[in-house]
Amino acid sequence: MPEICLKLHIESLDEGGYVATSPNLPGLVAQGRTLSETLEIAQDVARKLIESYEEHGDPLPPGLQKPGKKLNIDIAVGIA
């Protein structure tokens, strides 16, 4: 599978841990105890969602792009 870049929104949860969603890939929701774990789970979920699109012959959502020279990652972390 070729590489695809997508935007992730990562938020810290009041009860601890993080949740990641993507405006580019509907259905992507990943939750983990650490930021690293959350990113790893988000990558797995994204891969499975994209494989599902391909298996069903559905076009990928607009906004997904191949990696370029510059990669922008927006991370919002709430501090109490």
- Residue 80 pLDDT grade (very low, low, confident, very high; cuts 50, 70, 90): very low
Higher pLDDT, 72 or 49: 49
- Look at residue 72 in the predicted model and tell me its pLDDT: 56
Query: Is residue 22 one of the residues assigned to a domain?
Result: yes
- C-alpha to C-alpha distance for 21 and 9, rounded to whole angstroms: 5
Query: Is residue 80 one of the residues assigned to a domain?
Result: no
Query: Is residue 3 one of the residues assigned to a domain?
Result: no
* Domain tally, the chain: 1
**pLDDT of 13-69, one tens digit each?**
999 999 999 998 999 999 999 999 999 999 999 989 988 988 998 888 887 765 555
Query: Which domain, by its residues, includes 19?
Result: 9-55
Query: Is residue 16 one of the residues assigned to a domain?
Result: yes
Q: For residues 5 and 71, is the Cβ–Cβ distance under 8 A?
A: yes
Query: Is residue 20 one of the residues assigned to a domain?
Result: yes
Contact partners, residue 68, CB within 8 Å, separation at least 6: 5
